[in-house]
Amino acid sequence: MSDAASSSTPDSDAWARQVEDQVLTLALPHVAQMGWSALLVARAGAEAGLSKGEIELLFPNGAADLAALLGRRHDRETLETLSQTDPASLKIRERIRLAVETRLDAAAQDEAVARRWSGFLALPQNLALASRLLWDSADQLWRWAGDTATDENHYSKRAILSGILSAALAIRVASGRGASMDFVDARIANVMSFEKWKATTKLRPSEALKTFAQTLGRMRYG
């Protein structure tokens, strides 16, 4: 990015966010046919009236930037929906179930888009981006649920929930809502059992790490 572009102002930031959102909206109807690609970014940018230079300025990483925008849009929509529920009125497992269900519903509004989006993020070159987006989603869901942990539990909770979100979305686009929520319910039951057991068992660090890895494996494979 050029020096001029990096020295943003509030007005320029607002313009960038508005135009990025517009380009994303214009891109979504073409995703099923074009996938997440440079051509998709170019087409949506042109439909938004942007020059090639403006497209490159706003989307320096091409389709990866566009995919990240969709993930963050889904996070915002999820929190907006969840804001209608007081988490304190629910048990912790009910909070997490509702949070995950709402997040999956947001991601699967258009199943063709969700399928191509998941496939794009599963590519080796996009795994780091996928991990960041999943972590951000899990962090926001846990914060809505009232989590205030600052020790290692802060990280383990988000890592486990990231794994649940990733696998549940894959099941959602492949087998439907019911199958994905059956998976979520089973994984939440695993986690609650693990947390209950951990609270009554004193583990050495090496044992805790091994058990945590096994728990993550169950999140992924059931």
Q: Cα separation of 220 and 222, whole Å?
A: 6
Residues 6+ apart with CB under 8 A from 52: 42, 45
Start-to-end CA distance of the chain, whole Å, equals: 44
Write down the pTM of the prediction: 0.83
Q: CA-based angle 169:174:177, to the nearest 5?
A: 60
pLDDT at 72 over 50: yes
Does 44 score more than 90 pLDDT? yes
In the structure encoding, which two tokens stand for residue 197, read together? 């057991």
Whether 168 contacts 184, CB under 8 Å: yes
* Residue-wise DSSP of 17-77: HHHHHHHHHHHHHHHHHH-SSHHHHHHHHHHTT--HHHHHHH-TTTHHHHHHHHHHHHHHH
CA–centroid distance for 168 within its chain: 11
Q: Which two tokens stand for residue 177?
A: 């809502």
DSSP 165-186: HHHHHHHHHHH-HHHHHHHHHH
Looking at every residue in the chain, the average pLDDT score rounds to 87
Task: Give mean pLDDT, residues 112-125.
Answer: 95
Mean pLDDT, range 34-41, rounded to an integer: 96
Average pLDDT rounded to a whole number, residues 123-143: 96
Cβ-contact 8, 90 below 8 angstroms:
no
Query: If pLDDT is split at 50, 70 and 90, which confidence band does 11 have?
Result: confident
Both structure tokens of 125: 């070159």
Six-digit token string for 73 = 């849009």
The DSSP 8-state label assigned to residue 89 in this structure reads: G
H helix and E strand count, the chain:
11, 0
